[in-house]
Amino acid sequence: MTMRKTMVRSMKVCFMLLCGCALAACGESSQSSSASTTAKPESAPASAPAKPASPAFAAEENAWRKERHDNLLKPDGWTSLIGLHWIQLKAHYIGSSPGSGIRLAKGPEKMGLLQQQDDKLFFTPERGVVLTLDDKPLKSRVQLFDDKSETPSVIGFDDGKGKITVIERSGRRALRVKHADAETRTGFAGLEYWPADPSWKVDAKFVANAPGKTIPIPDIIGDTNDVPNPGAVEFQRDGKTYRIEALDEGDGSLFLIFADRTNGHGSYSAGRFLYADKPDATGKVVLDFNRAYNPPCAFTSFATCPLPPPENRLDLAVTAGEKQYAASKH
């Protein structure tokens, strides 16, 4: 399951505008009786008392949380991002020196020359700089392949601590740069969760859409992409039915991007993610909201996170899963 960065607009401004839109939308009335009508923050319902978690349930949730933490803190995990540089010119010199066309936050002062030719991307390393391409020594001009390719290219630098990849978003390319010594990684503030609550592990019903249906999904950089939408999941909470449109990332599982009434009031303001296994033969889907988690944009301004579509803004306070990242509260 996957994720979708100089910028055409300021990431920070775009982020604030889009998050504001997402929150504002949560104050409008919904148009579907099966989806929730949006809530006014001041009238958010009190959450039901948490059910006691059995030792086995608590152990499973804690194991998932540890894996989540460890993945974020991998040397090339989401907390290692140090840059997102849109490729705008036919040629850019790359490096950490002030005169670089694409200036890196860390790395060699002069790394090499990036060129766009006939819709292809090429990189020529600076003589004498130690780099790798896909873990092999890089010494001459090569073609780079983006993340939509079957074999995306990875340039390594600083003895493997740094990695550069190419991403493609709505026909635009950017260099995504990671480094194991990123301050967002070395100074990681840890994750906070609501207490694990078995009542938030719910049985849902999968309602299939016609084959080939898509849904427009906005993202934090201002683009909108049509994403496969195989169906929706419907579940009940406190006697009401709620509906979340599901996305298909190609492996049969369901990817849910949702907003709820805790956004900005305990959870990340731009919504959260949740994965679920594909439906069983009867259409049953298990949704464990204890495993709802923050998108990468909660930890870095260099990600290109999708945002919840209007259909997935719930008139419900989901007091389960990952809370707002502590370092982003200020």
Q: What is the pLDDT of residues 186-212, one digit of tens each?
A: 999 999 999 999 999 999 999 999 999
- Residues 122 and 202 occupy one common structural domain: no
Show the tokens assigned to 40.
């006014």
- Residues 204 and 301 occupy one common structural domain: yes
Contacts of 50 by beta carbon, 8 Å cutoff, 6+ apart: 194, 195, 197, 199
d(CA 20, CA 275): 25
Task: Determine, yes or no, domain membership for 1.
Answer: no
Show the tokens assigned to 11.
């990431």
Looking up residue 167, the CATH number of its domain turns out to be: 2.60.200.20
Q: Cα–chain-centroid distance for residue 195?
A: 23
Which of 186, 202, 237 is where one domain is finished?
186
- Residues 178 and 198 occupy one common structural domain: no
Task: Determine, yes or no, domain membership for 174.
Answer: yes
- Residues 181 and 156 occupy one common structural domain: yes
- Residues 82 and 64 occupy one common structural domain: no
User: What pLDDT does residue 47 have?
Assistant: 52
Task: Determine, yes or no, domain membership for 289.
Answer: yes
Task: Determine, yes or no, domain membership for 6.
Answer: no
- Residues 31 and 88 occupy one common structural domain: no
User: What pLDDT does residue 15 have?
Assistant: 38
Which range marks the domain in which residue 137 is found? Answer: 78-186
How many domains is the chain partitioned into structurally? 2
Which of 157, 186, 215 is where one domain is finished?
186
- Residues 205 and 314 occupy one common structural domain: yes
Task: Determine, yes or no, domain membership for 2.
Answer: no
- Residues 204 and 157 occupy one common structural domain: no
d(CA 216, CA 223): 10
- Residues 65 and 211 occupy one common structural domain: yes
- Residues 84 and 182 occupy one common structural domain: yes
Which of 162, 186, 210 is where one domain is finished?
186
Contacts of 67 by beta carbon, 8 Å cutoff, 6+ apart: none
Task: Determine, yes or no, domain membership for 103.
Answer: yes
Task: Determine, yes or no, domain membership for 154.
Answer: yes
Task: Determine, yes or no, domain membership for 127.
Answer: yes
> Of 232, 201, 200, nearest to 317 (Cα)?
200
Element spanning 155, H or E: strand 154-157
- Residues 54 and 15 occupy one common structural domain: yes
- Residues 150 and 108 occupy one common structural domain: yes
Give me the tens of pLDDT residue by residue for the chain, a chain 330 residues long: 443 333 333 333 333 333 343 433 333 333 333 333 333 333 344 555 566 789 999 999 999 999 999 999 999 999 999 999 999 999 999 999 999 999 999 999 999 999 999 999 999 999 999 999 999 999 999 999 999 999 999 999 999 999 999 999 999 999 999 999 999 999 999 999 999 999 999 999 999 999 999 999 999 999 999 999 999 999 999 999 999 999 998 888 999 999 999 999 999 999 999 999 999 999 999 999 999 999 999 999 999 999 999 999 999 999 999 999 987 664
User: What pLDDT does residue 6 have?
Assistant: 35
Phi-psi region of 264 (alpha: psi -120 to 50; beta: other; left: phi over 0): left
User: What pLDDT does residue 50 have?
Assistant: 63
